[in-house]
Amino acid sequence: MATRTRRAERREEPLSRERIVEVAVELLDAAGEGGLTFRALAERLATGPGAIYWHVANKSELLDAATDALVAGALEARDARSPKSPRDGIRAVALGLYDAIEVHPWLAVQLATQLSRSPWQPVTLRIFESVGRQVGALGVPENSWFTATSALLHYILGAAGQNAANAVSGRALGPGSSRAQFLDDASKTWEALDPDDYPFTRAVAAQMRDHDDREQFLAGVALILTGMTAAPPSSA
């Protein structure tokens, strides 16, 4: 009886698209895209699937809405910081997306999918516009804007996605394992490689062991910006 009462109380709460997206993000965070079903949503929201379909047509639309909500939040947080220069603006966008993907690893796949299959979607356009405006403000020649912005965007999403995937894999190693231990083991393996076949890999083994993911990510952004402004790429 108590359970039915609680469910009845939950049903009295107004069901909105925003609330549906919020719960969808929770399900995606917990179990990835496979965990997002309308049945699971209905159970979590204590409602029927029909009520959800009134607000969202299908799973694809729901994934797009969840992706859009997180990206909008990341970029709004960047805007609130009022960057003092184009470099600061790009760094802020990069960090906003990095942090969002780190918290929500599934987001990397959704962004990559949209970027490659439907670059006209609002999410892709919003990110491209945020980065592109700053690239233009850096003084990059207009005929190189597309190439420069695309390269920077691919790095940001790719590196952030890889770091998020590494974190997920690290958690899957189980108790007693840690990132530091994993990197130490990998570094020792690199150091034991044949020096004639892998001289470079052996030389950077210690750097790999001691690196910080976030600092490495930002260093990559800075490296691209330095090259972009020193010798802007030509689209011709």
Residue 218 CB neighbour total at 10 angstroms: 16
Q: How confident is the model at residue 5 (pLDDT cuts 50, 70, 90)?
A: very low
pLDDT at 14: 79
Asked if residues 123 and 67 have their Cβ atoms less than 8 Å apart, the reply is yes
Amino acid at 109: V
pLDDT greater than 80 at residue 108 = yes
Place of tokens 């609130």: 80
Residue 177 backbone zone (phi > 0: left; psi -120 to 50: alpha; other: beta): beta
Side-chain-side CA neighbours of 47 within 13 Å: the count stands at 20
Distance between start and end Cα atoms, the chain? 72
Using CA atoms, how far residue 54 sits from 49, 60, 62, 98, 167, in Å, is 9, 15, 12, 33, 37
Q: Which residues contact 225 (CB under 8 A, 6 or more apart)?
A: 87, 90, 138, 152
32 vs 26: CA distance, rounded Å: 9
191 vs 207: CA distance, rounded Å: 11
Higher pLDDT, 139 or 8: 139
Place of tokens 């976030």: 214
pLDDT at 173: 63
The model's pLDDT over 148-196, given as tens digits with 9 standing for 90+, comes to: 999 999 999 999 999 888 877 766 666 666 777 888 888 999 999 999 9
| Cα 76 to the center of its chain, rounded Å | 15
Residue (of 224, 223, 213) closest to 166 by Cα position: 213
Averaged over 141-150, what is the pLDDT?
93
Q: What is the pTM of this model?
A: 0.82
pLDDT at 45: 92
pLDDT at 168: 74
Residue 47 backbone zone (phi > 0: left; psi -120 to 50: alpha; other: beta): beta
Q: How confident is the model at residue 93 (pLDDT cuts 50, 70, 90)?
A: very high
The model's pLDDT over 219-235, given as tens digits with 9 standing for 90+, comes to: 999 999 998 888 655 55
pLDDT greater than 60 at residue 7 = no
Domains of the chain (ranges, CATH numbers): 85-230 (1.10.357.10)
180 vs 187: CA distance, rounded Å: 10
Q: What percent of the chain has pLDDT over 70?
A: 86
The model's pLDDT over 109-136, given as tens digits with 9 standing for 90+, comes to: 899 888 888 778 888 899 999 999 999 9
pLDDT greater than 80 at residue 49 = yes
pLDDT at 13: 64
pLDDT greater than 90 at residue 9 = no
